[in-house]
Amino acid sequence: MDKFIVKEKDELYNYLRNNLNKSKNNIKSLLKNECIYVNNIIITKYNYVVNSGDIISIGKAITYKDVNLKIIYEDSDIIVIDKPTKILTISNSKEKNKTLYREVSNYLKKENKKVFVIHRLDYDTSGVIMFAKNQKVQKLYQDNWNNLAKTREYIAVVEGRTNSKGHIESYLKMSKSLQVYSSKNKDGLFSITDYERITYNDKYSLLRILISTGRRNQIRCHMSDIGHPILGDTRYKSKTTPLNRLTLHASLLEITNPLNNKVMTFKSNIPKEFYEITK
């Protein structure tokens, strides 16, 4: 499999035209037939943007050892991944290829198994995420997720100096533009968020956050509600992006295995930059 390291930002098709001794039709055929990989992920879009340092691989198939996954835990039923920031859990209308689901799927081909989504993390959120290896296990976890997930801990850097601890309750609804907000009436999904301040400086606070309910964008909405939006979260009123990412990390998941009732604990280290920016 031929590999190239990108030296400067460009659209994928343009890069291939400038670096491969192939015709336009040949390059289009490589893209269409899923023979182009960027950082070990199949890309088919002509206008996909590659950045300096990205690795482009060209070939019919990717070897399993090339799949770049940080695996926290794996058994015959589940696989738990330490998700990096800036990758979708599953595809959306704008991005079909560069997803964690695709990476895990490629990895599990060595076992002739498929991957099934149990829960999701946002594109910019990093940390602990679990997938099932069969539909039965997926259903067991999803059908009773809030009861099985005993502890869901997140670490966040937010704007300003928060109280030393706090408890937030609201009823969350979603607007037509898919913006989650706290309803003034009790007509949304009841949501509970608790936080404890780890450290702070004159600009930011580093928080440990526990959620008792797992609503879409719950933490992001609740921190914005109390006037301390998560850094980089412009959708929820953040005014600064010093780390070029949403500073939210899923650090711990303590969950009961529905097959044997044993409690499992999975952890992911807090990103160093979260500590550095709050010194």
The last residue of one of the domains, among 18, 38, 62, is 62
Residue 50 contacts residue 19 (beta carbons within 8 Å): no
The gap from C-alpha 167 to its chain's centroid, in whole angstroms, comes to: 25
Query: Which pLDDT score, from 0 to 100, does residue 65 have?
Result: 43
- Dihedral through CA 191, CA 195, CA 200, CA 204, nearest 10? -10
18, 42: one domain: yes
How far is it, in rounded angstroms, from Cα 119 to Cα 199? 29
What is the tally of structural domains in the chain? 3
126, 21: one domain: no
Residue 199 contacts residue 131 (beta carbons within 8 Å): no
157, 273: one domain: yes
Domain harbouring 258, CATH code: 3.30.2350.10
pLDDT tens digits for the chain (279 residues)?
A: 578 889 999 999 999 999 888 888 888 888 887 788 887 777 888 899 999 988 888 875 444 444 468 899 998 999 999 999 999 999 887 777 789 999 999 889 877 889 999 999 999 999 999 999 999 999 999 999 989 999 999 999 999 999 999 999 999 999 988 899 999 888 899 999 999 999 999 999 999 999 998 899 999 999 999 999 999 999 999 999 999 999 999 999 999 999 999 999 999 999 999 999 999
The last residue of one of the domains, among 95, 116, 142, is 142
Helices 24-32, 12-19: axis angle to 10 degrees equals 130
Query: Which pLDDT score, from 0 to 100, does residue 63 have?
Result: 43
Q: Give burial (CB, 10 Å; 0-12/13-18/19+) of 180.
A: buried
222, 267: one domain: yes
Pairing label, strands 248-256, 126-132: parallel
- What is the domain range of residue 33? 2-62
Alpha helices (H) along the chain: 12-19, 24-32, 100-108, 135-143, 145-148, 218-225, 272-277
Query: Which pLDDT score, from 0 to 100, does residue 1 have?
Result: 54
Query: Which pLDDT score, from 0 to 100, does residue 159 have?
Result: 97
